[in-house]
Amino acid sequence: MLIRLGYDIVFETTQPVPIVALLKVHSSRVNDLRKPDELNLEPASKVECYFDTFGNYCCRFLAPAGQIRLSNSTLIHDTGDPDPVAPRAREIPVQDLPNNVLQYLINSRYCEVDRMSNIAAELFGGIAPGWNRVQAVCEWVHEKVTFGYQYASATKTALDVFADRFGVCRDFQHLAVTMCRALNIPARYATGYLGDIGVPASPVPMDFSAWFEAYLEHQWWTFDARHNQPRIGRVLMAVGRDASDVAFTTSFGTANLRQFSVITEEVSEHEAARA
C-alpha cells in the first residue's frame, strides 16, 4: 500500500531564531520512500542535516524574523500489515543487554523510574517476564488513563499521569515507558505518522502520533498504550528517552506556532501518479 505523508507548519518570530527539526522519516524507513522526503522552508533558508545520538535525522536552520513555513509532501510504501506481535518474546537480563540499550532503563526528563519502581513491582511484578508483561502494562495504562486534548501539558511527567489519570498521547506512552523501565525492561519513546488506516476515522484533525518500543528478544518491538491494538501504516520519525528528545521542532528562542496540519492517508497507485 502507499501512504501520503505531509505537514504544513508556520511559526512567527520577532527576531532570528535557531531551530532544530525532527520531521524526516526515520532512517529505518528511508528505503520505503517513493518520493523525496524534503523539508521545504519559505522563505528559503540554509538547512544543515545531521544524525543525533539516538540515530534521528535532524535538520537545523535559522528562522528569520517574521513568519517561516515548514512543509513537505511525500509517499511511502507500507506492507499494510499491522504491528508485529510476538507473545513468546523474552526479556533480556540487564547484564546481557547491549551497552547502547542501557540508557533506556534509567530516569529521563518525563520518566521518573526511581519514584515508580515500587508501584510497578506491585502492579506487574507477579506477571511472568516477557511480552505479556509489557502488554499488561499497556492494557493497564490504556484502561486507567483518560485521553483528552484539553489535558495537554508540556510539563506533565509519568508520575503526574499516574496520579491524575488523564493526558494526551505522549502521556500514555511516558507512563508505560516508565513502568517498563522500573521492571528492568528497556523502553524508549517513539514518534511519527499514524493515520486512521483500518480503523474508524477520528473526528479531530490529524497530528503526529506517539507510541513506545520495548526491547525484547534482542530487538525493539512496537507497543501503543494509547490505542492498545496493532495498527496499520505506522511510520517512524524519531526515537528517544522521552518526548524531550524527539520534539518535532526545538526553538532556541521564541517561535510562536501559527499554523499546524499533518496528513497521513492511504492513496492508490493512480492517485499517487497524479500527485
- Report the greatest alpha carbon distance in the chain: 57
pLDDT level of residue 155 (50, 70, 90 thresholds): very high
Contact 97, 185 (CB under 8 A): no
Contact in structure between 9 and 68 (CB atoms under 8 Å): no
Give the other-Cβ count within 10 Å of 141's Cβ: 28
Q: What is the pLDDT of residue 272?
A: 75
Helix (H, G, I), strand (E, B) or coil at 65: coil
Per DSSP bridges, beta strands 146-147 and 209-216 are unpaired
pLDDT at 228: 96
Residue 89 is placed in which grid cell?
518474546
- Report the run of H or E that residue 181 belongs to, with start and end: helix 169-182
Nearest partner of 185 among 106, 72, 265, judged by Cα = 106
- The mean per-residue pLDDT over the stretch 245-269 comes to 95
Phi, psi of 101 (to 5 degrees): -95, -20
Residue 170 confidence (pLDDT): 97
Q: Is residue 275 scored above 80 in pLDDT?
A: no
Q: Domain 94-245: give its CATH code.
A: 3.10.620.30
For the cut 90, the answer to whether the pLDDT of residue 273 exceeds it is no
Domain extents for the chain? 2-80+248-274, 94-245
Q: Which fold has domain 2-80+248-274?
A: Immunoglobulin-like (2.60.40)
**For residue 274, is pLDDT > 90?**
no
Q: Which residues pair with 63 in a beta bridge?
A: 17
Task: Indicate if the pLDDT at residue 75 is higher than 90.
Answer: yes
- pTM score: 0.95
Distance (Å, rounded) from C-alpha 101 to C-alpha 73?
Answer: 33
- C-alpha dist (Å) from residue 166 to 3, 122, 157, 159, 206: 31, 21, 11, 11, 20
